[in-house]
Structure 1
């Protein structure tokens, strides 16, 4: 994704890091007097209020057997779901905590992530009766929130948990906010319901509940709940959140989804946030676990699947080794996180290529190997589809290839055939996205085909025949509007990175269409606005061309409302513009989630 994107990963396999610490409290030197002031920070640790405070998959509460009180958690892992329950709590930095809980069942785990030091877990292979699991950790110097979890193991049967507690210094968090008012429904489709509500003073975010289960969070006062079943009635509530905790839930509103089959691009929210997650390597942005990606991200591209050699077509996805990413999750936890994101209506894709992953499908054998190897990755991890991020010399044109509607260059023809084969194999639900650089797309306005334009770089505009051939199958195109030199817009003026005008001009070309290589008889047709997201770097570290939030807002205002425009005059107004893409989720986390907060603030 550019010179700041990544470093080449080692091929060493990662290991499972399981840390059981039983003597940390004594070693810490914390006195018994100090411990006496500690509090239990877990909300509803005995599950007496159902799953309130917990986010779970495949779980419910039962009245028997229980360890104490009237209820306990019962969760049932399956072949693709370890029945994970999580709760995020507010803690003090640089403080000692003890996590404890009672469990029954086989291979039951209790742990904490995001500690800022070493994430911990305790587990039991077999507990026929209630068994206490205990582990301790110390928070990092800036850690204020930690996520607790309990889960079982795939296909091993139901497990029980009760009396979960986290004891340690409580944060000075004040009081929870008041419950939201004014909850109402907006647009309803076969697979989604739009919700909005009135802001609550003192709230830092909101939790959205569907039929009593917390399904996502929001920083603004609107959200679209996706992944719903057609022709089905749902009940929704919202709670306000701050560091002191969560408010009572709002009044309930109901909505019934429309009839239809759903799936595919229609299953995305009206405005989507797309981000790349460094899954196979580490760099200065740090490793982020898939389960820790905030709910704001609607499409998560796993970076990267790479070829074993440039022309083999054989794509492999090697997750980041523990030597580079000490906090990397196990394969089982990674696959469970994929399922959890999908259950929340998110799309998780494998991204092929990147800065170091050059792929050239020069032969039919390479094409077929590409299809089979990519299918293996999608099937192994249960992914929703594929992102093509071919850079470098992966795509280029032969000298006589001047008609983008009828390409002749083998690497382009074979790629189109491979992607159509994958789409046919997985059907309408298959999500296909592309992330070309401006060089491969908008530069086709000036230069397309080396024969016609006297030796210009044969990569100029080389994505155009691929995009055009797949426009009916393409879910999203998010051109990288960064790491780019000046590019001529439809006003015949050069536009440079660094402000809203560049993004406006580049996006206007996609939504208006343009003559290829200046040929008025050879026009690249416009894409639908719901197919287009604007690619931007999350931070200045992530790539050349970063713009501050105010310029992002100007870009969106101009394209969706035709207000706040600058020097460039657009050829239309597109309120259905799908959204934003960024390199990357990791860099945005490094930058304090500025890009995510800008998107949430604008679209909700």
Structure 2
């Protein structure tokens, strides 16, 4: 069994999360799950081009064509210092009945709720984030006012694809519409699919259509007989159906199913490319990230590390709040300089979320807190040691959680980082890959850490051999060709001296970067920017590489990775 030794002066290994896309898989991909009842709201996706029947305070609501979550339109609310741009719609409901309200929002302090009842909010997502709240109507309640709003002086917010799932209060109308027919794809890109269908009929009148993926996962609601589903993953198969609904909330049977595979992204596979060395604020004399960016041209950083602060609660290093501290300060500086981050969750040591969260759903909730805190495009889970990597139940829990957050955050990229032998994945690495397929986890990038092999002088040869072994395994499990398999591979090395005294020089790392570019892999990283400084003969240290080099030399080499 391959094991890995870590000490505090080097890299604490952690699982990481990251943002956006999907692997090419056979069959449908799960997307955000909501109840299957009809959407009671009208113009829920604002596809009509007007806000009606929504009413917005202060005349501050409008319909825009960008940014959108689904379709071609979304709501924009221009909150001011004196008005929160509240947009609401009153609908008929049934007494003593459970409803689920959900919607996709972005902006600072965006709220979704029902007047006089439950509400929820999110702080500052820079990409669309889903809000969901459940409520039960009163014993004699026959109407409910649904709203979304921003907050005073927090700027413009956006909302799209708002859904109130449950029975409508349609005055005794219990007849469902007929099913839509002739569903077909009318176009596609690497991240979107356009659909059209023949409309349904109803004894009173059809008020909208709900588009589903995988049979039960509602994506968006439109008023007409066409829709464009966006935020999808390149080279990925999706199965779509459509249902009609009326004003009473009666939903039709599903239309015929149509399967569509999105186009290939740039470079094959997921189209996702990332040069993202590790940056750690916890120790190791952390440098100014903006200084490093200006000196090297690097744009992405893998931010270490998210652990459990007790139970299923995420925190930086298990002790610093997700927002408001030194980690957020660093992330803000990186983004202000035109870059972005992917948090690393898990690792070799520390109190991790995987063993502490009892179910995939609970673990997904912890991951979601990290995603929502920063509006992430990608997450990385660094799965190591006997408590996670060599624990089959926890492996499956992590894969299940990543499947859930991928479904609930269209466009989010998910990365798994794990150890390797010189010839490719170990027993537990092979199992992780096999289970990701069996559980339809839709992982975007499988990143190996080719160091701490237990000695060895040929770090370039060992790294390439390990990556080729991973490629062979991915081809075997997923049925991919070479190009697609390479496009789902990541390499995360260790600059200078490793824990086991292996040496990776700038020249060797340049060879690794060149090989990675020529084989069009997805991700290149190393541990760490904190160590990317010279200290020849300094041993394995937290703030220097232990070898002779220039400041930020490995980071500059890594910035040359384009995939």
TM-score range for the pair, normalised by the shorter chain length: 0.3 to 0.5
TM-score, with structure 2 as normaliser: 0.44
TM-score, with structure 1 as normaliser: 0.41
